[in-house]
Structure 1
Protein backbone atom coordinates (compact mmCIF):
# COMPACT_ATOMS: atom_id res chain seq x y z
CA UNK A 1 0.00 0.00 0.00
CA UNK A 2 1.17 3.51 -0.80
CA UNK A 3 -0.12 6.79 0.66
CA UNK A 4 0.09 9.84 -1.59
CA UNK A 5 -1.59 13.17 -2.21
CA UNK A 6 -4.84 13.17 -4.09
CA UNK A 7 -4.42 13.87 -7.81
CA UNK A 8 -6.91 15.55 -10.12
CA UNK A 9 -7.93 12.21 -11.67
CA UNK A 10 -8.72 10.61 -8.26
CA UNK A 11 -12.04 12.42 -7.71
CA UNK A 12 -14.40 9.72 -8.94
CA UNK A 13 -12.54 6.95 -7.10
CA UNK A 14 -12.53 8.97 -3.86
CA UNK A 15 -16.27 9.59 -4.22
CA UNK A 16 -16.88 5.86 -4.72
CA UNK A 17 -14.72 4.89 -1.73
CA UNK A 18 -16.38 7.47 0.52
CA UNK A 19 -19.89 6.45 -0.57
CA UNK A 20 -19.11 2.76 0.00
CA UNK A 21 -17.52 3.42 3.40
CA UNK A 22 -20.50 5.39 4.76
CA UNK A 23 -23.41 3.66 3.00
CA UNK A 24 -25.90 2.24 5.50
CA UNK A 25 -24.18 3.50 8.66
CA UNK A 26 -26.47 4.88 11.35
CA UNK A 27 -24.23 7.92 11.89
CA UNK A 28 -23.76 8.75 8.21
CA UNK A 29 -24.88 12.16 6.99
CA UNK A 30 -28.11 12.06 4.97
CA UNK A 31 -27.76 12.16 1.17
CA UNK A 32 -27.65 15.59 -0.44
CA UNK A 33 -30.30 14.32 -2.87
CA UNK A 34 -33.06 11.79 -2.11
CA UNK A 35 -31.74 8.29 -2.84
CA UNK A 36 -28.23 9.62 -3.41
CA UNK A 37 -24.91 8.69 -1.88
CA UNK A 38 -24.22 9.36 1.80
CA UNK A 39 -23.62 13.02 2.59
CA UNK A 40 -19.92 12.42 3.30
CA UNK A 41 -19.30 11.57 -0.37
CA UNK A 42 -20.88 14.84 -1.50
CA UNK A 43 -19.10 16.75 1.27
CA UNK A 44 -15.69 15.88 -0.20
CA UNK A 45 -16.71 17.49 -3.50
CA UNK A 46 -18.04 20.58 -1.74
CA UNK A 47 -14.81 20.89 0.25
CA UNK A 48 -12.68 20.79 -2.93
CA UNK A 49 -14.53 23.93 -4.08
CA UNK A 50 -14.13 25.74 -0.74
CA UNK A 51 -11.49 28.23 0.38
CA UNK A 52 -10.73 25.83 3.25
CA UNK A 53 -9.35 23.20 0.86
CA UNK A 54 -5.72 22.24 1.58
CA UNK A 55 -4.46 20.00 -1.26
CA UNK A 56 -1.49 18.78 0.79
CA UNK A 57 -3.91 17.25 3.30
CA UNK A 58 -6.09 15.22 0.94
CA UNK A 59 -4.43 11.81 0.91
CA UNK A 60 -5.28 8.51 -0.73
CA UNK A 61 -4.23 4.94 -0.01
CA UNK A 62 -3.37 3.04 -3.19
CA UNK A 63 -3.25 -0.74 -3.69
CA UNK A 64 -2.82 -2.32 -7.12
CA UNK A 65 -3.23 1.11 -8.73
CA UNK A 66 -6.65 1.59 -7.10
CA UNK A 67 -7.81 4.02 -4.43
CA UNK A 68 -8.83 1.97 -1.38
CA UNK A 69 -8.90 4.78 1.19
CA UNK A 70 -9.00 8.56 1.58
CA UNK A 71 -8.57 11.10 4.34
CA UNK A 72 -9.00 14.85 4.25
CA UNK A 73 -8.21 17.76 6.54
CA UNK A 74 -9.46 21.25 5.74
CA UNK A 75 -9.12 24.72 7.22
CA UNK A 76 -11.18 25.22 10.32
CA UNK A 77 -10.99 27.73 13.16
CA UNK A 78 -10.99 27.96 16.92
CA UNK A 79 -12.30 31.46 17.42
CA UNK A 80 -10.33 33.42 14.81
CA UNK A 81 -7.28 31.11 14.89
CA UNK A 82 -6.72 28.69 11.99
CA UNK A 83 -6.69 24.96 12.84
CA UNK A 84 -7.73 21.82 10.96
CA UNK A 85 -10.92 19.80 10.76
CA UNK A 86 -10.37 16.17 9.84
CA UNK A 87 -12.82 14.14 7.84
CA UNK A 88 -14.14 12.26 6.29
CA UNK A 89 -11.82 9.26 6.67
CA UNK A 90 -12.98 6.55 4.26
CA UNK A 91 -11.80 3.01 3.54
CA UNK A 92 -13.42 0.52 1.17
CA UNK A 93 -15.46 -1.92 3.27
CA UNK A 94 -13.43 -4.93 2.05
CA UNK A 95 -10.22 -3.21 3.25
CA UNK A 96 -11.48 -1.98 6.64
CA UNK A 97 -9.71 -3.33 9.73
CA UNK A 98 -6.59 -4.05 7.70
CA UNK A 99 -4.47 -1.00 8.59
CA UNK A 100 -5.49 1.30 5.72
CA UNK A 101 -7.28 3.81 7.98
CA UNK A 102 -4.43 3.72 10.50
CA UNK A 103 -1.86 4.43 7.78
CA UNK A 104 -3.95 7.32 6.44
CA UNK A 105 -4.35 8.80 9.93
CA UNK A 106 -0.62 8.66 10.65
CA UNK A 107 0.14 10.22 7.26
CA UNK A 108 -2.34 13.11 7.57
CA UNK A 109 -1.32 13.90 11.16
CA UNK A 110 2.36 13.87 10.19
CA UNK A 111 1.68 16.11 7.20
CA UNK A 112 -0.38 18.54 9.31
CA UNK A 113 2.39 18.74 11.90
CA UNK A 114 5.00 19.29 9.18
CA UNK A 115 2.90 22.16 7.82
CA UNK A 116 2.99 23.82 11.24
CA UNK A 117 -0.66 23.34 12.14
CA UNK A 118 -1.45 23.60 15.87
CA UNK A 119 -4.46 21.32 16.23
CA UNK A 120 -6.70 18.84 14.41
CA UNK A 121 -10.33 18.26 15.44
CA UNK A 122 -12.87 15.66 14.39
CA UNK A 123 -16.17 14.05 15.20
CA UNK A 124 -15.80 10.30 15.63
CA UNK A 125 -15.52 7.23 17.79
CA UNK A 126 -13.27 7.96 20.80
CA UNK A 127 -12.06 4.36 21.04
CA UNK A 128 -10.80 4.46 17.44
CA UNK A 129 -9.34 7.95 17.35
CA UNK A 130 -7.87 7.77 20.85
CA UNK A 131 -5.18 5.51 19.37
CA UNK A 132 -3.88 8.53 17.47
CA UNK A 133 -3.73 10.84 20.47
CA UNK A 134 -7.17 12.40 20.09
CA UNK A 135 -8.90 13.39 23.33
CA UNK A 136 -12.27 14.91 24.19
CA UNK A 137 -12.16 18.56 23.12
CA UNK A 138 -14.04 20.17 26.00
CA UNK A 139 -11.41 19.48 28.72
CA UNK A 140 -8.78 21.01 26.39
CA UNK A 141 -10.87 24.18 26.16
CA UNK A 142 -12.25 23.62 22.65
CA UNK A 143 -16.03 23.85 22.38
CA UNK A 144 -17.76 21.63 19.81
CA UNK A 145 -19.90 23.25 17.11
CA UNK A 146 -22.78 21.18 18.55
CA UNK A 147 -22.71 20.68 22.32
CA UNK A 148 -24.58 17.36 22.07
CA UNK A 149 -21.53 15.79 20.35
CA UNK A 150 -19.94 15.44 23.79
CA UNK A 151 -16.80 13.29 23.93
CA UNK A 152 -17.21 12.26 20.29
CA UNK A 153 -15.87 15.70 19.33
CA UNK A 154 -12.13 15.32 19.81
CA UNK A 155 -8.88 17.16 19.25
CA UNK A 156 -5.28 16.18 18.65
CA UNK A 157 -2.72 18.82 19.51
CA UNK A 158 0.39 19.11 17.33
CA UNK A 159 3.86 20.59 17.82
CA UNK A 160 2.72 24.20 17.27
CA UNK A 161 -0.13 23.97 19.79
CA UNK A 162 0.05 26.85 22.26
CA UNK A 163 -3.00 26.39 24.46
CA UNK A 164 -5.55 28.03 22.18
CA UNK A 165 -9.14 27.68 23.33
CA UNK A 166 -12.60 28.64 22.12
CA UNK A 167 -15.41 27.43 19.87
CA UNK A 168 -14.44 25.22 16.93
CA UNK A 169 -15.83 25.94 13.46
CA UNK A 170 -15.44 23.56 10.48
CA UNK A 171 -15.03 24.76 6.88
CA UNK A 172 -18.35 26.12 5.56
CA UNK A 173 -19.38 23.04 3.52
CA UNK A 174 -19.83 21.07 6.75
CA UNK A 175 -22.74 23.41 7.57
CA UNK A 176 -24.58 22.11 4.48
CA UNK A 177 -24.87 18.58 5.89
Structure 2
Protein backbone atom coordinates (compact mmCIF):
# COMPACT_ATOMS: atom_id res chain seq x y z
CA UNK A 1 0.00 0.00 0.00
CA UNK A 2 1.16 3.50 -0.77
CA UNK A 3 0.18 5.71 2.13
CA UNK A 4 0.41 9.51 1.94
CA UNK A 5 2.43 11.40 4.53
CA UNK A 6 -0.30 13.98 5.07
CA UNK A 7 1.71 16.30 7.31
CA UNK A 8 4.55 16.49 4.80
CA UNK A 9 2.24 16.93 1.79
CA UNK A 10 0.43 19.83 3.45
CA UNK A 11 3.56 21.55 4.77
CA UNK A 12 5.43 21.17 1.47
CA UNK A 13 2.47 22.51 -0.53
CA UNK A 14 2.24 25.51 1.77
CA UNK A 15 6.01 26.02 1.67
CA UNK A 16 5.81 26.24 -2.13
CA UNK A 17 2.76 28.53 -1.79
CA UNK A 18 0.61 26.19 -3.88
CA UNK A 19 -3.07 25.41 -3.65
CA UNK A 20 -4.40 21.89 -3.93
CA UNK A 21 -5.64 22.86 -7.38
CA UNK A 22 -2.08 23.95 -8.32
CA UNK A 23 -0.67 20.59 -7.27
CA UNK A 24 -3.37 18.71 -9.17
CA UNK A 25 -2.69 20.85 -12.26
CA UNK A 26 1.06 20.13 -12.05
CA UNK A 27 0.36 16.40 -11.81
CA UNK A 28 -2.01 16.55 -14.79
CA UNK A 29 0.71 18.38 -16.75
CA UNK A 30 2.76 15.21 -16.32
CA UNK A 31 0.03 13.32 -18.18
CA UNK A 32 -1.57 11.78 -15.10
CA UNK A 33 -5.23 12.03 -14.18
CA UNK A 34 -5.68 13.86 -10.90
CA UNK A 35 -8.12 16.61 -10.05
CA UNK A 36 -8.01 18.92 -7.04
CA UNK A 37 -10.77 16.99 -5.23
CA UNK A 38 -8.82 13.74 -5.52
CA UNK A 39 -5.59 15.43 -4.46
CA UNK A 40 -7.38 16.94 -1.46
CA UNK A 41 -8.52 13.48 -0.36
CA UNK A 42 -5.02 12.04 -0.85
CA UNK A 43 -3.47 14.90 1.10
CA UNK A 44 -5.86 14.39 3.98
CA UNK A 45 -5.15 10.64 3.96
CA UNK A 46 -8.78 9.60 3.74
CA UNK A 47 -9.27 5.84 3.94
CA UNK A 48 -10.46 5.47 0.35
CA UNK A 49 -7.31 7.27 -0.85
CA UNK A 50 -4.56 5.51 1.09
CA UNK A 51 -3.64 3.01 -1.61
CA UNK A 52 -2.90 5.15 -4.63
CA UNK A 53 -1.14 4.22 -7.84
CA UNK A 54 2.64 4.39 -7.84
CA UNK A 55 2.70 6.65 -10.90
CA UNK A 56 0.33 9.08 -9.17
CA UNK A 57 2.55 9.08 -6.08
CA UNK A 58 5.59 9.88 -8.23
CA UNK A 59 3.62 12.63 -9.99
CA UNK A 60 2.62 14.22 -6.68
CA UNK A 61 6.19 14.05 -5.37
CA UNK A 62 7.46 15.66 -8.56
CA UNK A 63 4.78 18.37 -8.43
CA UNK A 64 5.82 19.16 -4.86
CA UNK A 65 9.50 19.08 -5.87
CA UNK A 66 10.17 16.47 -3.20
CA UNK A 67 11.46 12.94 -2.88
CA UNK A 68 8.78 10.26 -3.07
CA UNK A 69 9.99 8.76 0.21
CA UNK A 70 9.19 12.04 1.96
CA UNK A 71 5.69 12.17 0.49
CA UNK A 72 4.63 8.55 0.82
CA UNK A 73 5.23 5.40 2.80
CA UNK A 74 5.04 1.96 1.24
CA UNK A 75 3.63 -0.84 3.35
CA UNK A 76 3.18 -4.42 2.25
CA UNK A 77 -0.10 -5.96 3.32
CA UNK A 78 1.27 -9.50 3.15
CA UNK A 79 4.82 -8.85 4.27
CA UNK A 80 6.92 -12.01 4.11
CA UNK A 81 9.95 -12.16 6.38
CA UNK A 82 11.63 -14.94 4.45
CA UNK A 83 10.69 -16.58 1.18
CA UNK A 84 10.68 -20.35 1.04
CA UNK A 85 12.74 -22.06 -1.62
CA UNK A 86 11.09 -23.05 -4.86
CA UNK A 87 11.14 -26.75 -5.74
CA UNK A 88 13.83 -25.98 -8.36
CA UNK A 89 16.00 -24.19 -5.78
CA UNK A 90 15.59 -27.06 -3.33
CA UNK A 91 16.65 -29.51 -5.99
CA UNK A 92 19.75 -27.46 -6.86
CA UNK A 93 20.75 -26.84 -3.26
CA UNK A 94 20.24 -30.36 -2.04
CA UNK A 95 23.35 -31.15 0.01
CA UNK A 96 25.70 -33.54 -1.69
CA UNK A 97 23.79 -33.56 -4.95
CA UNK A 98 25.76 -34.50 -8.04
CA UNK A 99 25.31 -31.01 -9.55
CA UNK A 100 26.49 -29.30 -6.35
CA UNK A 101 29.59 -31.50 -6.27
CA UNK A 102 30.26 -30.81 -9.95
CA UNK A 103 29.89 -27.07 -9.43
CA UNK A 104 32.39 -27.17 -6.56
CA UNK A 105 34.86 -29.23 -8.57
CA UNK A 106 34.47 -26.96 -11.57
CA UNK A 107 35.10 -23.88 -9.45
CA UNK A 108 38.26 -25.44 -8.05
CA UNK A 109 39.49 -26.35 -11.53
CA UNK A 110 38.85 -22.80 -12.71
CA UNK A 111 40.67 -21.25 -9.77
CA UNK A 112 43.61 -23.61 -10.29
CA UNK A 113 43.86 -22.84 -14.01
CA UNK A 114 43.65 -19.08 -13.39
CA UNK A 115 46.21 -19.19 -10.56
CA UNK A 116 48.70 -20.93 -12.85
CA UNK A 117 47.90 -18.65 -15.81
CA UNK A 118 47.04 -21.58 -18.07
CA UNK A 119 44.93 -20.56 -21.09
CA UNK A 120 41.73 -22.55 -21.63
CA UNK A 121 42.91 -23.39 -25.17
CA UNK A 122 46.00 -25.21 -23.81
CA UNK A 123 43.84 -27.36 -21.52
CA UNK A 124 41.32 -27.99 -24.30
CA UNK A 125 44.04 -29.10 -26.73
CA UNK A 126 45.54 -31.41 -24.10
CA UNK A 127 42.28 -33.25 -23.41
CA UNK A 128 41.02 -32.93 -27.01
CA UNK A 129 37.88 -30.82 -26.50
CA UNK A 130 36.78 -27.44 -27.82
CA UNK A 131 38.13 -24.49 -25.78
CA UNK A 132 34.62 -23.24 -24.96
CA UNK A 133 33.92 -26.59 -23.32
CA UNK A 134 36.57 -25.87 -20.68
CA UNK A 135 34.38 -23.02 -19.42
CA UNK A 136 31.43 -25.43 -19.16
CA UNK A 137 33.64 -27.82 -17.19
CA UNK A 138 34.53 -24.96 -14.84
CA UNK A 139 30.83 -24.20 -14.31
CA UNK A 140 30.19 -27.84 -13.40
CA UNK A 141 28.30 -28.52 -16.64
CA UNK A 142 30.35 -31.51 -17.76
CA UNK A 143 30.65 -35.19 -17.02
CA UNK A 144 32.86 -36.43 -14.20
CA UNK A 145 35.02 -38.17 -16.84
CA UNK A 146 35.88 -34.88 -18.57
CA UNK A 147 36.44 -33.16 -15.23
CA UNK A 148 38.80 -35.99 -14.27
CA UNK A 149 40.74 -35.50 -17.54
CA UNK A 150 41.18 -31.79 -16.73
CA UNK A 151 42.30 -32.58 -13.18
CA UNK A 152 44.73 -35.23 -14.49
CA UNK A 153 46.17 -32.65 -16.90
CA UNK A 154 46.81 -30.41 -13.89
CA UNK A 155 48.54 -33.29 -12.10
CA UNK A 156 45.92 -34.35 -9.56
CA UNK A 157 42.62 -36.25 -9.43
CA UNK A 158 39.08 -35.28 -8.49
CA UNK A 159 39.52 -37.36 -5.31
CA UNK A 160 42.27 -34.96 -4.24
CA UNK A 161 39.77 -32.09 -4.45
CA UNK A 162 36.76 -33.89 -2.99
CA UNK A 163 37.21 -37.27 -1.23
CA UNK A 164 33.52 -38.10 -1.75
CA UNK A 165 34.27 -38.47 -5.48
CA UNK A 166 35.77 -41.93 -5.42
CA UNK A 167 35.85 -42.52 -9.16
CA UNK A 168 34.49 -40.85 -12.23
CA UNK A 169 30.83 -41.76 -12.50
CA UNK A 170 28.00 -40.88 -14.82
TM-score (norm. length: structure 1): 0.25
Q: Normalized per residue, which structure has more strand?
A: 1
The structure with more radius of gyration: 2
Larger RCO of the pair (alpha carbons < 8 Å, separation 6+): 1
Q: Normalized per residue, which structure has more helix?
A: 2
